[in-house]
A and B are shown apart, each in its own frame.
Chain A
């Protein structure tokens, strides 16, 4: 049973468009929600992260929106670029469980020029 559910599995967006990836979780002990970006042939790398005490975090073109009551969070990529084409993973961890990271199933984003 996957602890973090992610959708969609794949996404095609035109250059300049907005990419939106959604995640949901059940375990209310989760207290840290990072997003990872993975390019082909590479390991995932941290993109942006949020804690549940804020509803939004923005870093450049990347924004996490967090809805604690719905137990959902999403990644928005504004002005999407072909260089953003990658696989994105949401994740969650809890300081009460050794900070193990549980990952979603991944979203393969393709930004068309």
Chain B
């Protein structure tokens, strides 16, 4: 079974702190994603990586950065946490989709971050 593991289920951080959310996948997937889940807004893409050291901004990258130094690990960094970044953060990975083929995003269980 594909496993995507997020380092923490729950985190409480103070405003202004630098926060690291870690994600590891064990299936050698090329693509990795960070989403933020908020009620009524669904899953919004923060950042995406399609290869080691490669990253693309998603729809809401402001206030976040990412790091992918190894294929299996994708880190989300909140440079200076703010209360409006209180949310559920979901990491996902997927294999490269061949032309005309299908793919699937595998999700971790999420990290519920509260910024106080």
A and B part of one assembly: yes
* Interface, chain A (partner B; CB < 8 A): 2, 6, 9, 32, 34, 36, 41-46, 49, 51, 89, 91, 93, 95, 98-106
> Does A32 lie within 8 Å of B107, measured CB to CB?
no
Contacts of B94 in A (CB 8 A): 99, 101
* Interface, chain B (partner A; CB < 8 A): 4, 31, 33, 35, 40-45, 48, 50, 56, 58-59, 90, 92, 94, 96-97, 99, 102-105, 107-110
Contacts of B33 in A (CB 8 A): 100-101
> Does A98 lie within 8 Å of B102, measured CB to CB?
no
* Contact sample, A vs B, 25 pairs, CB 8 Å cutoff: A2-B42, A6-B42, A32-B103, A34-B104, A36-B105, A42-B109, A43-B4, A43-B109, A44-B105, A46-B104, A49-B102, A49-B104, A89-B43, A93-B97, A98-B31, A100-B56, A100-B58, A101-B94, A101-B105, A102-B45, A103-B42, A105-B40, A106-B40, A106-B42, A106-B43
